[in-house]
Amino acid sequence: MGELFSQYNVLGAFGITIVLTVLSALGALVIGTLVAIMRVSPVGFLNKLGALYVNLVRNTPLTLIIVFCNIGFIVNLGMSVSDDFARNNLVWATIGLAFYHAAFVCEALRSGVNTVPAGQAEAARSIGLSFGQSLREVLLPQAFRGAITPLGNTLIALTKNTTVATAIGVAEVAGLMKTMQEDRPDLMVPIFLVVAIGFVILTLPIGLVTTHLSQKLAVKR
Amino acid sequence: MSSVLFDIPGPKARARHRLIMIVSVVLTLLALWWALSRFAAKGNLEAAKWTPFLTADIWVNYLIPGLLNTLKAAAISVVLAGAFGLLFGIGRLSENAVIRWISTVIVEFFRSVPVLVMMVAAFGLFSFNRVFEASINPLAAVITGLTLYNGSVVAELLRSGVGGLPKGQSEAGLAIGLTRSQTLRSILLPQAITAMLPALVSQLVVILKDTALGAIITYPELLTTFSQIGSYKSNPVPALIVIALIFIAINYLLTTAAAKIESRLRDKGRATIAKGTIGPPNPVDLKPVEEALIAADENVLHERYRTPDK
């Protein structure tokens, strides 16, 4: 196993996986929050638009979205962000991952809002809080707590889904895994174990932290 | 519309909402126009790029065979994942600590490894060891990856389905003299499987979407046909859009079916488990069920041993 680490830049590939995860998680959080605001807003049109986005994106395979980022945006439309081929694909993979997972972030936040009983809003308004105050002090804190678990699940899924970026040649772990398999077919099982355990190490803490947080911050009802 | 966050709008709020709506409609149209004009600038909106999809040739020779391969991989994976899930789901509920522990490790491991990594590993293993005929290897690898991951999800669903049942169910089963495994088989599992039906159907969407990962390991499914069509008719972007629409249509039907099943079950007064509730961050508290089972079991045993003496 030591051979693999000395011969190949396993840690570097995991580094790219982590970079992809962090950047697209931030992007997904921003876009997802915007879509969630549209989804819960009282304006019918925005509501429908948000629902359309979520339904379209959620039902499309991520592989297709990532391939489209390359074929559609880079090759066909020439929307390059960098002259460097690898960097360009990395950026577009991040954008694709962010837009895909934004749909799940939106649903997570919405399910958080749905955990707040209507009585909370009524109570907040009846003690004289304004709309902004009741959102800030009463409703959103509860909604975010309710959203911790689904958000954590989305982050775990996102971490694993970064492997799809290999479809457009981003040098992350799954791509390296293919190369290693071709070079060293005798080490097939160790290669799988190294990659698999790497992902367990990446995702396990996320699960533990969100479990801890959701229990610690749970709203008693 | 969420009624929790907003009051029923008065005249002022209604006017504001109208303004927001008009502004957002205008912005959406502008964005749409911009996107379409960029697409048109590269010739993607020319009729010649879209008319091939009106001919039987493209459908019969490319799209439908690809779709059939996608559905084939998905269908086989669903059946195998169901069996895998049932096996390890019951394993996780076993009273034997070793079986429970092994099942837990297997389920948690395969749930945290990316499906693509499992597919690539399976593909490598199968082709290096010549397990199957060379032409079957990609399909076998896709099925292996999907089965291991989704089977683990099904196992977890099953466990949370059983854990979510009222304690009285297992107690009642044991009280009428069924053994633990009989209680599980004939009382708890049927209810748990009904409860997880909607989540199971929406898992089908995940399986169907993940078959597209097969494109990376050369499985000729629906997504891969885009490059053939694209180079044949030089319209890769329209081809991708058509393929995306096919995926969306099928998955939308499945999602709608899941919602329908859920509302039907709820109408009947049956409990269901939501899809988002599974996973490590949402530990299911099985303690009460387990304790009840063990306690009731002992009582039943005591009763049985006592009766002959009387």
Confidence (pLDDT) at B274: 56
CB-based contact, A128 to chain B, within 8 Å:
no
> Measured between alpha carbons, how far is B199 from B255 in angstroms, rounded to an integer?
10
Angle separating helix axes A85-114 and A140-161, nearest 10 degrees: 140
Q: Contacts of residue B283 in chain A, CB cutoff 8 Å?
A: 211
Across A11-27, average pLDDT: 96
Q: How confident is the model at residue A78 (pLDDT cuts 50, 70, 90)?
A: confident
Instruction: Identify residue A144 by its one-letter amino acid code.
Output: F
Q: In chain A, which residue's Cα lies nearest the Cα of B16? A: A43
Same domain, B31 and B153: no
CB-based contact, B246 to chain A, within 8 Å:
no
> Measured between alpha carbons, how far is B220 from B243 in angstroms, rounded to an integer?
14
Instruction: Indicate if the pLDDT at residue B200 is higher than 50.
Output: yes
Which of A42, A188, A200 is closest, CB to CB, to B124?
Answer: A188
Q: How confident is the model at residue B227 (pLDDT cuts 50, 70, 90)?
A: confident
Confidence (pLDDT) at B293: 62
B276:A59 CB<8 A: no
Q: In chain B, which residue's Cα lies nearest the Cα of A188? A: B125
> Measured between alpha carbons, how far is B279 from B156 in angstroms, rounded to an integer?
7
Which of A60, A68, A195 is closest, CB to CB, to B117?
Answer: A195
- Mean pLDDT rounded to a whole number for chain B: 86
Q: Which residues of A102-127 are buried (b: 16+ CB within 10 A; e: fewer)?
A: bbbbbbbbbbbbeebeeebbeebeee
Same domain, B25 and B56: no
Q: Phi and psi dihedrals of B174, rounded to 5?
A: -70, -35
> How far are the Cα atoms of A180, A182, B73, B126, B136 from residue B131, in angstroms, in the given order?
20, 17, 18, 5, 9
Q: Which of residues 42-101 of B touch A (CB under 8 A)?
A: 42, 44
Same domain, B79 and B23: no
Yes or no: say if B229 and B58 are a contact pair by the CB < 8 Å rule.
Answer: yes
Min distance B55 CA to chain A CA atoms (Å): 23
> Measured between alpha carbons, how far is B209 from B70 in angstroms, rounded to an integer?
9
A45:B21 CB<8 A: yes
B236:A60 CB<8 A: no
Which of the listed CATH numbers 1.10.3720.10, 1.10.132.20, 3.10.180.10, 3.90.650.10 matches domain A14-216?
Answer: 1.10.3720.10
Instruction: Tell me the domain boundaries of chain A.
Output: 14-216
- Mean pLDDT rounded to a whole number for chain A: 92
Q: In chain B, which residue's Cα lies nearest the Cα of A187? A: B125
Q: Contacts of residue B237 in chain A, CB cutoff 8 Å?
A: 68, 71-72, 76
CB-based contact, B210 to chain A, within 8 Å:
yes
Instruction: Indicate if the pLDDT at residue A62 is higher than 60.
Output: yes
Same domain, B36 and B60: no
Q: How confident is the model at residue B277 (pLDDT cuts 50, 70, 90)?
A: very low
What six digits make up the tokens of A216?
A: 């610690």
CB-based contact, B3 to chain A, within 8 Å:
yes
CB-based contact, B8 to chain A, within 8 Å:
no
Same domain, B75 and B22: no
> Measured between alpha carbons, how far is B77 from A23 in angstroms, rounded to an integer?
32
> Measured between alpha carbons, how far is A86 from B161 in angstroms, rounded to an integer?
45
Q: Which residue has the tokens 């000729």?
A: B220
Nearest Cα neighbor of A140 from A124, A156, A157 is: A124
> Measured between alpha carbons, how far is A205 from B193 in angstroms, rounded to an integer?
30
B281:A211 CB<8 A: yes
The residue ranking higher by pLDDT, B167 or A152, is A152
Q: Contacts of residue B15 in chain A, CB cutoff 8 Å?
A: none
> Measured between alpha carbons, how far is A187 from A7 in angstroms, rounded to an integer?
12
Confidence (pLDDT) at B297: 55
Same domain, B36 and B148: no
Yes or no: say if B267 and B258 are a contact pair by the CB < 8 Å rule.
Answer: no
| H helical segments located in chain A | 2-7, 10-40, 44-58, 62-68, 85-114, 118-126, 131-133, 140-161, 173-183, 188-216
Confidence (pLDDT) at B294: 62
Same domain, B210 and B290: yes
Same domain, B238 and B287: yes
Same domain, B5 and B146: no
CB-based contact, A130 to chain B, within 8 Å:
no
Interface test with B, best of A46, A76, A97 (most B CBs within 10 A): A76
CB-based contact, A18 to chain B, within 8 Å:
no
Q: Phi and psi dihedrals of B179, rounded to 5?
A: -80, 175
> How far are the Cα atoms of A28, B24, B31 from residue B35, in angstroms, in the given order?
21, 16, 6
Tally of domains in chain B = 2
Yes or no: say if B153 and B203 are a contact pair by the CB < 8 Å rule.
Answer: yes
Q: Residue B238: give the domain boundaries.
A: 50-309
Nearest Cα neighbor of B222 from B66, B62, B64, B53 is: B66
CB-based contact, B31 to chain A, within 8 Å:
no
Q: How many CB atoms lie within 10 A of CB B285?
A: 9
Yes or no: say if B161 and B178 are a contact pair by the CB < 8 Å rule.
Answer: no
Nearest Cα neighbor of B77 from B142, B25, B127, B28 is: B142
Q: How many CB atoms lie within 10 A of CB A145?
A: 18
> How far are the Cα atoms of A167, A200, B98, B188 from residue A163, in angstroms, in the given order?
8, 14, 33, 38
Residues with Cβ within 8 Å of A129's Cβ and at least 6 positions away in sequence, in order, are A137, A138
Handedness of CA A211, A215, A221, B1 (dihedral sign): negative
> Measured between alpha carbons, how far is B108 from B50 in angstroms, rounded to an integer?
46
A149:B128 CB<8 A: no
Q: How confident is the model at residue B273 (pLDDT cuts 50, 70, 90)?
A: low
The C-alpha R_g of chain B, in whole angstroms, comes to 26
CB-based contact, B9 to chain A, within 8 Å:
yes
Which of B24, B112, B210 is closest, CB to CB, to A46?
Answer: B24
Same domain, B115 and B246: yes
Q: In chain B, which residue's Cα lies nearest the Cα of A204? A: B112
Q: How confident is the model at residue B198 (pLDDT cuts 50, 70, 90)?
A: confident
Instruction: Indicate if the pLDDT at residue B309 is higher than 60.
Output: no
Q: Which of residues 81-100 of A touch B (CB under 8 A)?
A: none
Same domain, B17 and B74: no
CB-based contact, A160 to chain B, within 8 Å:
yes
Across A168-175, average pLDDT: 92
Instruction: Indicate if the pLDDT at residue B298 is higher than 80.
Output: no
A64:B243 CB<8 A: yes
pLDDT tens sequence across B29-88: 999 999 999 989 988 888 888 988 998 999 999 999 999 999 999 999 999 999 999 999
Instruction: Indicate if the pLDDT at residue B308 is higher than 60.
Output: no
Interface A–B counts its CB contacts (< 8 A) at 193
